[in-house]
Amino acid sequence: MDGLLTPRESAEFIAENSRDVFIDGEGVQRVAELLLAKAAGPELRMGGWKTLHELNPREADEAAVNWVFLIDTLNFSFWSERDEHKCLVGYRGKTYSGYWSLCAAVNRALDEGIPITSASYYATVTQDRVRHIFRSDTDVSMPLIEERHRILNETGKILLEKFEGSFLNCVQKSDKSAQKLLHLVVENFPSYRDVTQFEGKIISFYKRAQILVADTWSVLEGKGDGCFKDISSITMFADYRLPQVLVYLGALKYSDELLEKLLRGEMLSYGSRQEVEIRGCSLWCVELIRDCLLELLEKKGEKTGGEINSILLDYYLWDYARDHREDMKGIPFHRTRCIYY
């Protein structure tokens, strides 16, 4: 078995060997053109992380960094068996589902005086307390609540032992390198090790570790400890929403066999060939979209609000998927139950 491939290397290798998932060159071009129209707008710049999302912290301090770390430690698997029957969390007059239900529950706990973002709290929090903190307004609870409890205890203990209980200390050990921070996270926190095998190679997606680096960069507004010189080496985050929106936009295609399987709602296990092909081709597809967009910007001499990278494309496409949930109803997302995305 060869050495571990980086997410970008993994994605290219998977795309070259994929049997059931394909990247459509014309679709890539069309998505790049869609994004070109947004290039100078608020969505394709890092500031959107705060201005467009009311649940994200406004501050850029240590508490905000530890909020991001807690959220991304639990940032996985929100899909429900039946979409019309899912976990919902009401907070300050609005109702949130999916990923945002996690953020709403955390902010609700903080408002209730529960120090849920403090490692000394979640290192020893009981499962009953976790069920209470992440309680749903419907009879459908947040998926994998037992795993979330286990991961909270495990992660809190490590943060206390190795980083004096604050993720900011981990960030400061990264010498402002995104790659160094990524590796500090996957080396020290087991639940972030999103690694599997494909065609005899060990491949990595590191979805939660990469989005943690990205959200840390965003919450620190790219300044001070968050001024990562190599932030553009971070790729998109291989979750279950981006593939769905890339298929919807025509940049990604599934074989008939795979599409029928997904339409039947069949689950794909983590690390299975088709699940790896969906995640790897999606990641590579966003890399190609980014290359195409940068070429278009160059040709047009367009001004942008700062460097456009795969993180900003990912954030935009993820938000797009949220805003076009109804339109995307006919396109299935793949159902994998795991702690990695």
By three-state DSSP, how is residue 89 classified? strand
Q: What is the dihedral of CA 198, 186, 72, 111, to 10 degrees?
A: 160
Q: Helix 145-163 and helix 62-73: axis angle, to 10°?
A: 140
Among the candidate windows 124-132, 136-144, 169-177, 235-243, which touches ligand 56B by CB under 6 A? Answer: 235-243
**Burial status of residue 305 (CB atoms within 10 A of its CB: 0-12, 13-18, 19 or more):** middle
Beta carbon of residue 315, minimum distance to ligand 56B (angstroms, whole number): 5
Euclidean distance between CA atoms 265 and 254, whole angstroms? 15
- Per rule CB under 6 A, is residue 134 in the interface with ligand 56B? no
Task: Given the residues 239, 256, 291, 314, select the one marked as catalytic.
Answer: 239
Beta carbon of residue 34, minimum distance to ligand 56B (angstroms, whole number): 17
- Per rule CB under 6 A, is residue 69 in the interface with ligand 56B? no
**Strands, DSSP E only, in 247-312?**
252-254
Binding mask 48-67 for ligand 56B (x = CB under 6 A): -x---x--x-----------
Q: Record the tokens describing residue 43, joined without a space.
A: 């969505």
- Per rule CB under 6 A, is residue 341 in the interface with ligand 56B? yes
Give residues 72-101 in contact with ligand 56B (rule: CB under 6 A). 75-76, 78-79, 98-99
Sole binder of ligand 56B in the list 5, 242, 312, 328 (CB under 6 A): 242
C-beta closer to ligand 56B: residue 145 or 160 = 145
- Per rule CB under 6 A, is residue 239 in the interface with ligand 56B? yes
Beta carbon of residue 76, minimum distance to ligand 56B (angstroms, whole number): 5
- Per rule CB under 6 A, is residue 194 in the interface with ligand 56B? no
Phi-psi region of 90 (alpha: psi -120 to 50; beta: other; left: phi over 0): beta
By three-state DSSP, how is residue 169 classified? helix
Residue 91 has a CB neighbour count (10 Å cut-off) of: 19
Sole binder of ligand 56B in the list 241, 261, 290, 334 (CB under 6 A): 241
Beta carbon of residue 114, minimum distance to ligand 56B (angstroms, whole number): 22
Q: Which residue is nearest to ligand 56B (CB)?
A: 98
C-beta closer to ligand 56B: residue 163 or 318 = 318
**Cβ–Cβ < 8 Å for 309, 290:** yes
C-beta closer to ligand 56B: residue 151 or 236 = 236
Check residue 91 and report its DSSP letter: E
Give residues 301-330 in contact with ligand 56B (rule: CB under 6 A). 314-315, 318-319
- Per rule CB under 6 A, is residue 154 in the interface with ligand 56B? no
Euclidean distance between CA atoms 235 and 190, whole angstroms? 20
Euclidean distance between CA atoms 208 and 182, whole angstroms? 10
- Per rule CB under 6 A, is residue 240 in the interface with ligand 56B? yes
By three-state DSSP, how is residue 10 classified? helix
C-beta closer to ligand 56B: residue 98 or 226 = 98
Beta carbon of residue 25, minimum distance to ligand 56B (angstroms, whole number): 22
Beta carbon of residue 272, minimum distance to ligand 56B (angstroms, whole number): 17
- Per rule CB under 6 A, is residue 205 in the interface with ligand 56B? no
**Cβ–Cβ < 8 Å for 251, 30:** yes
Q: For this structure, is 137 an active site residue?
A: no
**Burial status of residue 257 (CB atoms within 10 A of its CB: 0-12, 13-18, 19 or more):** exposed
- Per rule CB under 6 A, is residue 237 in the interface with ligand 56B? yes
**Cβ–Cβ < 8 Å for 283, 6:** no
Q: How many residues are recorded in the chain?
A: 341
Q: Which residues bind ligand 56B (CB under 6 A)?
A: 49, 53, 56, 75-76, 78-79, 98-99, 236-237, 239-242, 314-315, 318-319, 341
* Active site amino acids: 239
